[in-house]
Amino acid sequence: MSWIKEADVNVGNIIKVMSIDPKAMDAVSNLNQAVTFGASALTRVQEEAIATTVSVANKCRF
């Protein structure tokens, strides 16, 4: 939960902080979907493994 006022929406907290500006929240969410689940030569498992490895290396919780 952030200190910024949030709407009651069912999205991840990193996007939820933008919920007071629905157009921005939708744009970021759509960008995330396109980048994460767009056309790729990698399988979903490979993409998730890379994302997990990078997050661990960067000490990031997301």
Q: What is the pLDDT of residues 37-61, one digit of tens each?
A: 777 888 889 988 998 899 899 988 7
Q: What is the pLDDT of residues 2-34, one digit of tens each?
A: 566 656 666 666 666 777 788 988 888 888 888
Contact 55, 48 (CB under 8 A): no
Q: What are the residue ranges spanned by the domains of the chain?
A: 13-57
Cβ neighbours of 62 (radius 10 Å): 8
Interatomic CA distance for residues 50 and 58, integer angstroms: 12
Query: pTM of the entire structure?
Result: 0.48
